Amino acid sequence: MTNNKEPFDALLEWLDPDREKAGQRYEVIRGGLIRILVSNGLSDAEHYADEAIDRVIKRLPEIKETYVGDPAKYFHGVARNLIREARRRKEVVTEILPNLGTSKSDKSDTSECLSKCLEQLSPDKQEFILDYHLYKGHAKIEHHRQMAGELSISEGALRTRAHHLRVSLEKCVIDCVDNYGKNKTGVSSHRS
Amino acid sequence: MGGSTISNNQENEVKKYLLGQLEEADEERLELRLLTDPAFSEEFDTIVDELADEYVANELQGEERKRVEQHFLISTERRNKVKFAAELLERAEVERGGHNAGSEVQPVAAHGRGIFERMRLFWESQSFALRMGTAVAGLIIVVGVVMLLIPPNRTAGTYALLNLTMSSAERSAGSQTQSVRLEQGSPGIRIALSLPDQVPQAKSYRVELLDVQQSSRNLPITERTAHSLIVTIPANEIRRGSYIIRLYGNEQRIPGSYFFNVD
């Protein structure tokens, strides 16, 4: 991100007078922007999310005193403008079936990285994450119900637990694949 | 750790959003929630992962699959997600589905699941056509084995048996009339008809069965001895009621009748 400290502090203050709450709100807004931008077909969504935040920071001195309503709504408007602009520049792919790019080398890198990242998990977490993704369709639902029963947690809690583990595993694999081209042994330090 | 924080309707709405099927106003409302509600964002991410899994596992067909390709997978991030999902699901199948005997990871049974439970889950994960085909094939095998195991004469012992003596009367003599009860599963009634002593042996006999409406039919003679004829009546050809049997020798009516009731 390119924000310098003073305007960024002003942004946080606009989000909430309490600095800690403001930081939390900022993280939620940035995460939301990324989800919105990805869902609207923008690749490199993190870059566009920071671009949206920069635009708000630049406009902040003008709007801070007069703007009425939730700041999140203002961010949303800026994000929508960015999406429109990207579409005009044809940066958003539309009506074309994507090439999933599952070439043999891609797959091999991902596979090797998944092995390495799984090894970094404790054995019970390895079992859990693989078990959770074993079945499909109705069998999957039934399987998750039984897993939840065995762990004495609700199915919703099981789903959340699996999601958290998957997020950290996926991040580890992405980092590993990124590093793979530079250094074949590169796996980010990571243990969940 | 919390559970699901959104309802099924909201989950469906997220899916519609991801597939580009929401109205603009609903889309805006959902996006604003993504900017303000961290719990909703987490649910959103979970649904994204699940949709990627469903796509990889070929659980989505037709229009829905096409929509995933045209809306959900248009960004590089999502395509990378699908690649990761494909790798994760394949690994789960290899290490947990029993295809990799050398795996260091213990099978699902480590969670206390037995072999029958795993078989059931495997069975349920197969296609309907495969399950139906396997069920029909299994049924045919079971029926074949049962037919091989049952001796061919086993049903003979379950016939209801009657020994009838000819009466000179033309009508049933009430309490003296023999009765037979057809048990469920019995193949029918086997009747031994004693031949009257004073009648000379005929070359051929014909046995006629009459019911209370006087409708008649011939019964096949299954055995013949010097003193009796044996006829069988299949269970599906006789009902409860009173019956008369008439005997013909060389196509001449032999005086007298046999009477019996089926209860």
Strand partners, A119: none
In this structure, are B233 and B191 located in the same domain? yes
Counting residues of chain A whose pLDDT is more than 90, the rounded percentage is: 69
Q: How confident is the model at residue A43 (pLDDT cuts 50, 70, 90)?
A: confident
Contacts of B31 in chain A (CB under 8 A): 32, 36, 76, 79
In this structure, are B113 and B200 located in the same domain? no
In this structure, are B43 and B83 located in the same domain? yes
Q: How far, in Å, CA of A137 to CA of B262, rounded? A: 56
Helix crossing, A45-63 with A5-15: angle to 10°?
Answer: 80
CA distance, residue A185 to nearest chain B CA (Å)? 19
Separate counts of helices (H) and strands (E) for chain A = 8, 0
List, in order, residues 6 or more apart from B8 with CB less than 8 Å away.
none
Q: How far, in Å, CA of B17 to CA of B150, rounded? A: 63
> Which sign does the torsion angle of CA B218, B223, B226, B227 carry?
negative
B254 within a domain of the structure (yes/no): yes
B138 within a domain of the structure (yes/no): no
Contacts of B77 in chain A (CB under 8 A): 38, 43, 45
In this structure, are B212 and B159 located in the same domain? yes
B90 within a domain of the structure (yes/no): yes
> Which sign does the torsion angle of CA A100, A106, A108, A110 carry?
negative
B225 within a domain of the structure (yes/no): yes
In this structure, are B184 and B84 located in the same domain? no
Strand order in the sheet with B205-210: B178-180, B252-262, B241-249, B205-210, B216-219
B50 within a domain of the structure (yes/no): yes
> Which sign does the torsion angle of CA B9, B14, B20, B26 carry?
positive
B73 touches chain A (CB under 8 A): yes
pTM for the predicted model, two decimal places: 0.60
Measure Cα distances from B249 to A53, B68, B201, B205, B224 in Å: 113, 86, 8, 5, 13
| CATH code of B177's domain | 2.60.40.10
CA angle (B151 as vertex; B146, B156 as ends), nearest 5: 120
Task: Give the other-Cβ count within 10 Å of B8's Cβ.
Answer: 8
Q: Which domain holds residue B29?
A: 8-129
B74 within a domain of the structure (yes/no): yes
Q: How far, in Å, CA of B189 to CA of B221, rounded? A: 13
In this structure, are B82 and B187 located in the same domain? no
Question: What average pLDDT does range A14-18 have in this prediction?
Answer: 95
B140 within a domain of the structure (yes/no): no
In this structure, are B192 and B109 located in the same domain? no
Q: A25-29, A83-87, B108-112: which has the minimum mean pLDDT?
A: B108-112
In this structure, are B191 and B124 located in the same domain? no
In this structure, are B97 and B162 located in the same domain? no
Which pLDDT score is estimated for B2? Answer: 45
Contact B138, B221 (CB under 8 A): no
Contacts of B76 in chain A (CB under 8 A): 43-44
Which pLDDT tens digits describe chain B residue by residue (263 residues)? Answer: 445 556 777 788 999 999 999 999 999 999 999 999 999 999 999 999 999 999 999 999 899 999 999 999 988 899 989 999 999 999 998 887 753 333 333 333 333 344 455 555 555 555 556 666 777 777 777 777 766 666 554 444 578 888 898 887 766 666 568 888 888 888 889 899 998 877 777 888 899 998 877 788 889 888 888 888 999 898 888 888 899 999 988 888 888 899 989 98
CA distance, residue A65 to nearest chain B CA (Å)? 21
Pick from A42, A93, A110: which is nearest to B84 by CB? A110
Q: How far, in Å, CA of B68 to CA of B66, rounded? A: 5
Compute the mean pLDDT over every residue in chain A, rounded to the nearest whole number.
Answer: 86
Which pLDDT score is estimated for B227? Answer: 85
Which of B129, B164, B199 marks a domain boundary? B129
Which pLDDT score is estimated for A149? Answer: 95
In this structure, are B117 and B176 located in the same domain? no
Determine whether the interchain pair B35/A29 forms a contact, defined as Cβ–Cβ distance below 8 Å.
yes
Contact B2, A153 (CB under 8 A): no
Which of B129, B164, B198 marks a domain boundary? B129
In this structure, are B102 and B173 located in the same domain? no
Domain count, chain B: 2
* Residue showing tokens 């029963």: A149
Pick from A43, A101, A135: which is nearest to B121 by CB? A135
> Residue A191, exposed/middle/buried by CB under 10 A (0-12, 13-18, 19+)?
exposed
In this structure, are B35 and B105 located in the same domain? yes
Determine whether the interchain pair B34/A156 forms a contact, defined as Cβ–Cβ distance below 8 Å.
no
> Residue A103, exposed/middle/buried by CB under 10 A (0-12, 13-18, 19+)?
exposed
Q: For chain B, what is the HEC assignment?
A: CCCCCCCHHHHHHHHHHHCCCCCHHHHHHHHHHHCCCHHHHHHHHHHHHHHHHHHHCCCCCHHHHHHHHHHHCCCHHHHHHHHHHHHHHHHHHHHHCCCCCCCCCCCHHHHCCCHHHHHHHHHHCCCHHHHHHHHHHHHHHHHHHHHHHCCCCHHHHHCEEEEEECECCCCCCHHHCEEECCCCCCCEEEEEEECCCCCCCCCCEEEEEECCCCCEEEECEEEECCCEEEEEEEHHHCCCEEEEEEEEECCEEEEEEEEEEEC
List, in order, residues 6 or more apart from A120 with CB less than 8 Å away.
A172, A187, A190, A191, A192
Determine whether the interchain pair A160/B2 forms a contact, defined as Cβ–Cβ distance below 8 Å.
yes
CA distance, residue B1 to nearest chain A CA (Å)? 6
Which pLDDT score is estimated for A191? Answer: 40
B142 within a domain of the structure (yes/no): no
